[in-house]
Amino acid sequence: MQLFRAHVLVCGGTGCVSSGSKKIQEAITDELVKQKLDKEVKVVETGCHGFCEMGPIVIVYPEGTFYCRVQVEDVSELVSEHLVKGRTVQRLLFKAPVTEEQVPSYRDIAFYAKQQRVALRNCGHIDPEHIQEYIARDGYEGLAKALTSMTPEQVVEEMKKSGLRGRGGGGFPTGLKWGFAAKSPGPKKYIICNADEGDPGAFMDRSVLEGDPHSVLEGMLIGAYAIGADEGYIYVRAEYPLAIKRLRVAIAQAEELGLLGDNIMGTGFSCRLNIKEGAGAFVCGEETALMASIEGSRGMPNPRPPFPAVKGLWAKPSNINNVETYANVPVIFLHGAEKFASVGTENSKGTKVFALTGKLRNTGLAEVPMGISLREIIFDIGGGIMDDKKFKAVQIGGPSGGCIPEQHLDTPVDYDSLIALGAMMGSGGLVVMDETSCMVDVARFFLNFTQKESCGKCTPCREGTKRMLEILQKICDGNGVPEDITTLERLGGVVKNTALCGLGQTAPNPILATLRYFRHEYEAHINDKKCPAGVCSALLEYKIVADNCKGCGACARVCPVGAITGEKKEPHEIDTSKCIKCGSCIEKCKFDAIVKG
């Protein structure tokens, strides 16, 4: 085996690929050849590091030096300085927000320091297209343990003991679910992986599939053994081409090594896994719709019971879990359920991956132990609010979730506490909003999404989301009336209580939660015809503060409708009847002379 003195890890996740990591990788490889280092230094394409905003990311081992936003022009310096002379390239290091301090090591960056990576344990550390790298990190050992030393019943028991709950949104105890499917009689059963990640801004499942596909395969195989399935499907959205490619590579490699397919590891246990590409319907993340879609039908949910464990895919008992759930499973069998359960809270064990987005300094993927406070996630890992603005709310759980205000930031993050706050864990989307976010507008954004993605089957969701969206639009347009709030509450309550599937039942959450915590913003829109955050353009008026205006004319030149007039070096004025509230003038003004409100 060839030994290398250093490894250069180049992130090959979708985020870094988009910011040009493929070119960086090629440039590094070329440069190493040029400097005759290619026998000493190995370039490895890894999965996502989660800190996509800082991409393309390059990490040099053994030091673990973390270089970010690397450009092709930086490559020759990086190789000469770091790999030849052993000197860190200071300017490419990550700079901590606020302190501006350079942080050379991966482990010391605040974004990573508070994380505890279980599902993402291998992401960014291994080459996902080489099964040997996964095996070298104890991959497939959990499966071996389960297949050779445990009965299926013991596997289910171990899962129950681990306390793992579904990471896809519902939070149903995984061991219990496996137990139901295991108890269902029948020679043919299916194991299904839900990789139809669709929440706006969420990309944890994509990162796991791209960065560590074998962890999902291994988890599925352990599940298949537990319930008695000999075939499985991974339902992954077609918009994830890299994830699909890496899954195909992983399946082929696992089959070649006898870790997948017939007679796995010589134990007599067989299981084949297939990939089904979804066509982009959000509702196909709902398990009954997902199975309908695999069967070739229109992706529409069906009433439960019967539950998939009794009558699932092709009417056979099936078990369906999410990507992140399966990725956790091998760890449970590798280190034992007790070790896994030692992390987290009483009723929410282990860790959870969140996709941090919004007005944060650090955005990206973060895996944290359950029970951590929202404040720690937002202010420690996320680095706080961008541009020193004031925190307003965090939307958690995607379009099914709710907004949580400042006063609840110290709530521990676990399934039950979040539901008590009117939000939900969901798949782990976490959108942070500052004082410039209008909560009515946020609710409208999510309702627009759910309305478009409603499958149209049940009346409350199909018609109800449409009318809720229309009312929100009306309020944002300044045409709201006081009764609108009661209508929203009534309609939201009925939709929640009567819709067929999870999509409809949770669709009113963004409205109900904002009404609960930010009612005053609705009232300001309706009664005072004001948008306190200055977002809803129909309720805004642009004004020039004469004292600040230097009469430079920049605003008048940029105004697309000629609404701004004034003499040179004299305060200008805005003709509000002409103004289309595009905001270009504010962006252009260097003197803070233009205000909206």
Q: Which residues bind other proteins (CB under 8 A)?
A: 281, 283, 298, 300, 302-303, 305, 451-460, 462-467, 470, 487, 490-491, 494, 496-500, 505
> Over 484-540, what HEC string results?
HHHHHHHHHHHHHHHCCCHHHHHCCHHHHHHHHHCHHHHHHHHHHCCCCCCCCHHHC
Nearest to other proteins of 29, 479 (CB atom): 479
Nearest to other proteins of 211, 502 (CB atom): 502
Residue 470: CB minimum distance to other proteins, A: 4
Residue 347: CB minimum distance to other proteins, A: 18
- Amino acid letter at 510? P
Nearest to other proteins of 138, 489 (CB atom): 489
Residue 398: CB minimum distance to other proteins, A: 17
The vertex-210 CA angle with 207 and 213, nearest 5°, equals: 110
Residues 437 and 535: beta-carbon distance below 8 Å: yes
Q: State how far the Cα of 17 lies from the Cα of 93, in Å rounded to an integer.
A: 19
Residue 457: CB minimum distance to other proteins, A: 5
Nearest to other proteins of 13, 399 (CB atom): 399
Nearest to other proteins of 136, 238 (CB atom): 238
Question: Which of 31-61 are b and which e, b meaning 16 or more Cβ less than 10 Å from the residue's Cβ?
Answer: bbeeeebeeebbbbbbbbbbbbbbbbbbbbb
Nearest to 110 by CA among 123, 99, 126, 122: 99
Nearest to other proteins of 107, 452 (CB atom): 452
Residue 484: CB minimum distance to other proteins, A: 10
Q: State how far the Cα of 367 lies from the Cα of 348, in Å rounded to an integer.
A: 14
Give CA 63 to chain center in angstroms: 29
Q: State how far the Cα of 471 lies from the Cα of 476, in Å rounded to an integer.
A: 9
Residue 41: CB minimum distance to other proteins, A: 51
Residues 385 and 434: beta-carbon distance below 8 Å: yes
Looking at 200-301, list the stretches that DSSP marks H as alpha helix, in order from N- to C-terminal side.
Answer: 204-211, 213-227, 241-256, 287-294
Residue 315: CB minimum distance to other proteins, A: 12
Residue 302: CB minimum distance to other proteins, A: 7
Compute the chain's Rg from CA coordinates: 26
Nearest to other proteins of 105, 448 (CB atom): 448
Nearest to other proteins of 65, 506 (CB atom): 506
Residue 466: CB minimum distance to other proteins, A: 4
Q: State how far the Cα of 469 lies from the Cα of 525, in Å rounded to an integer.
A: 15
Residue 25: CB minimum distance to other proteins, A: 40
Nearest to other proteins of 230, 463 (CB atom): 463
Q: In what order do the strands lie in the sheet containing 429-434?
A: 364-369, 351-358, 429-434, 391-396, 402-405
The vertex-582 CA angle with 579 and 584, nearest 5°, equals: 105
Residues 28 and 20: beta-carbon distance below 8 Å: no
Nearest to other proteins of 459, 576 (CB atom): 459
Q: State how far the Cα of 174 lies from the Cα of 352, in Å rounded to an integer.
A: 14
Q: Where are the beta strands (DSSP E) in 318-363?
A: 318-322, 351-358
The vertex-62 CA angle with 44 and 19, nearest 5°, equals: 40
Nearest to other proteins of 38, 463 (CB atom): 463
Residue 189: CB minimum distance to other proteins, A: 23
Residue at token pair 């005053």 = 520
Nearest to other proteins of 193, 515 (CB atom): 515
Residue 243: CB minimum distance to other proteins, A: 24
